[in-house]
Amino acid sequence: MPAIESAEVLVTGAGRNFVTLRLRTSDGVVGLGDATLNGRELAVASYLRDHVAPLLVGRDPARIEDTWQYLYRGAYWRRGPVTMTAISAVDVALWDIKARVAGLPLYQLLGGSSRLGCRAYAHASGRDLPELFDSIRRHLELGYRAIRVQAAVPGVEATYGVAPGGAPYEPATRGTAPVESRWDTGAYLRFAPAMLHAVREEFGPALPLLHDAHHRLSPSEAASLARSLEPVGLLWLEDVTPVEDQTALRLVRSSSTTPLAIGETLNSIWDCQVILAERLVDYIRVSVTHAGGITHLRRIMALAELYGVRAGMHGATDISPVGLAATLHLALAIPNFGIQEHMPHAPATEDAFAHAYTFENGDLHPGDAPGLGVELDEVAAARHPYAAAYLPVNRLADGTVHDW
């Protein structure tokens, strides 16, 4: 029986910070897992290096479910983003190994493909409406068929989703402490409906449009926004309320038919149990990298299917190419796939991670290379050392810390 011979944790700053787990078996098969937790990267690296790697060496790489249970139930202190990101990385690396041993792309082990490709949506943004319209047009020219739209709120110095100076948006900033921004919910609520109505008017009724409120509203504020956006016909309105308060969505749901999405910061099936069982959203966004890997996300998506909820897969740049590949293999196979978020990675990230997945005609496809179809180029990765980076912190005008 082959055994896991080594478990290495590789930290790079190639494009942005990424943590990658590399497992090697006694018969020379290598599997990769994404262990990146944006802004808290080294906590997961330590969790893996100090507490998980020593337990993996000598184990049978084929026993994926047992290893998952061993790391989850066996830890006693369970759940939470650090633990679940670490378990995700192990799980994905083991699925990579199993599929490489089989000589098959991972999606074949998950039941085979259920669709031609995974419809992706792009992020368009602008500091004003003309710049936003240009950004949408640019993304349509690149082939995207669904667009998330975010625009700078007048009077708010930094708006989530809008890059300063038209560069691709990356929320984490290098430095020893987070950047602090001022947030004004009133200004946002006065601006967002008009902005989204203007986009719909400009681009016509057929273009699928999405918008992310990024967890900043109270239930009544969210309900009123969702109601005012009904004529826009969004594909979804994302993250209206802070997600840990699952029942906050009840008021939004009962007040409006605007489709809702939530879940990118949730870490387990229990974190989204109420949201799913009460059908409080249309799309669930928990990710392969932060919610227990292929093994656990598959279970979450099976529960979601029972309630008519579809997968709205998280795909920001802090999901590494390893994590994105894992997401795409699952997205291609499950019956209730909805849509895949796609923010292209920086050139330095592309240099460090060669991947078989492709983007064509608005769809991502995981490709047909064995396993995940991703190879890590250690030399290219090492050219860019890790440097601490943080997501911003929001404060209200009076200095009160608010959700970012």
The CA distance from 14 to 385, in Å, is 7
Task: Please give the size of the binding site for ligand EZ4, defined by CB under 6 A.
Answer: 9
Residue of 386, 348, 317, 324 lying closest to 11 (CA atoms)? 386
Q: Smallest distance from the beta carbon of 123 to ligand EZ4, in angstroms?
A: 8
* Helix, strand or coil, per DSSP, at residue 13: coil
Q: Smallest distance from the beta carbon of 88 to ligand EZ4, in angstroms?
A: 15
Beta bridge partners of 327: none
Q: Smallest distance from the beta carbon of 290 to ligand EZ4, in angstroms?
A: 9
What the block records as the tokens of 345 is 């990675």
Is 282 among the residues that bind Co ion (CB under 5 A)?
no
Is 264 among the residues that bind ligand EZ4 (CB under 6 A)?
yes
265 binds, among Co ion, ligand EZ4, none (CB under 5 to 8 A by kind): none
Question: Measured from the CB atom, is 84 or 261 closer to Co ion?
Answer: 261
Of 55, 316, 354, 382, the residue at the interface with ligand EZ4 (CB under 6 A) is: 316
Of 38, 267, 320, 394, the residue at the interface with ligand EZ4 (CB under 6 A) is: 38
169 is catalytic: no
Question: Measured from the CB atom, is 261 or 304 closer to ligand EZ4?
Answer: 261
Among 214, 215, 345, 365, the one annotated catalytic: 214
From the number of C-beta atoms within 10 Å of its C-beta (0-12, 13-18, 19+), residue 177 rates as exposed
In one-letter notation, the amino acid at residue 115 is R
The CA distance from 37 to 176, in Å, is 17
Question: Measured from the CB atom, is 212 or 271 closer to Co ion?
Answer: 212
Q: Smallest distance from the beta carbon of 114 to ligand EZ4, in angstroms?
A: 24
Name the DSSP letter for residue 169.
P
38 binds, among ligand EZ4, Co ion, none (CB under 5 to 8 A by kind): ligand EZ4
Q: Are 24 and 6 in contact (CB under 8 A)?
A: yes
The CA distance from 331 to 334, in Å, is 6
Question: Measured from the CB atom, is 97 or 249 closer to ligand EZ4?
Answer: 249
Task: Scan residues 130-189 and list those touching ligand EZ4 (CB under 6 A).
Answer: 171
Q: Smallest distance from the beta carbon of 148 to Co ion, in angstroms?
A: 9
Task: Scan residues 327-356 and list those touching ligand EZ4 (CB under 6 A).
Answer: 341
In one-letter notation, the amino acid at residue 252 is V
Question: Measured from the CB atom, is 212 or 221 closer to Co ion?
Answer: 212
Task: Scan residues 185-224 and list those touching Co ion (CB under 5 A).
Answer: 212
Question: Measured from the CB atom, is 274 or 391 closer to ligand EZ4?
Answer: 391
Contacts for 7 with CB less than 8 Å, ≥ 6 apart: 21, 22, 23, 48, 52, 53, 56, 57, 90
Is 212 among the residues that bind ligand EZ4 (CB under 6 A)?
yes
Q: Smallest distance from the beta carbon of 320 to ligand EZ4, in angstroms?
A: 12
Q: Are 222 and 240 in contact (CB under 8 A)?
A: yes
386 is catalytic: no
Query: What SS3 string covers 34-69?
Result: ECCCCCCHHHHHHHHHHHHHHHHCCCCCCCHHHHHH
Question: Measured from the CB atom, is 123 or 355 closer to ligand EZ4?
Answer: 123
Residue of 68, 81, 78 lying closest to 41 (CA atoms)? 81
Q: Are 33 and 93 in contact (CB under 8 A)?
A: yes
Q: Smallest distance from the beta carbon of 245 to Co ion, in angstroms?
A: 17
Among 121, 160, 283, 357, the one annotated catalytic: 160
Residue of 238, 240, 235, 265 lying closest to 250 (CA atoms)? 240
* Helix, strand or coil, per DSSP, at residue 134: helix
Whose CB is nearest to Co ion?
Answer: 212
Within 10 A of 235 (CB to CB), how many other CB atoms are there? 22
Is 41 among the residues that bind ligand EZ4 (CB under 6 A)?
no
Is 318 among the residues that bind Co ion (CB under 5 A)?
no
Q: Which residues bind ligand EZ4 (CB under 6 A)?
A: 38, 171, 212, 214, 264, 316, 318, 341, 391
Contact set with Co ion (CB under 5 A): 212
Catalytic residues: 160, 214
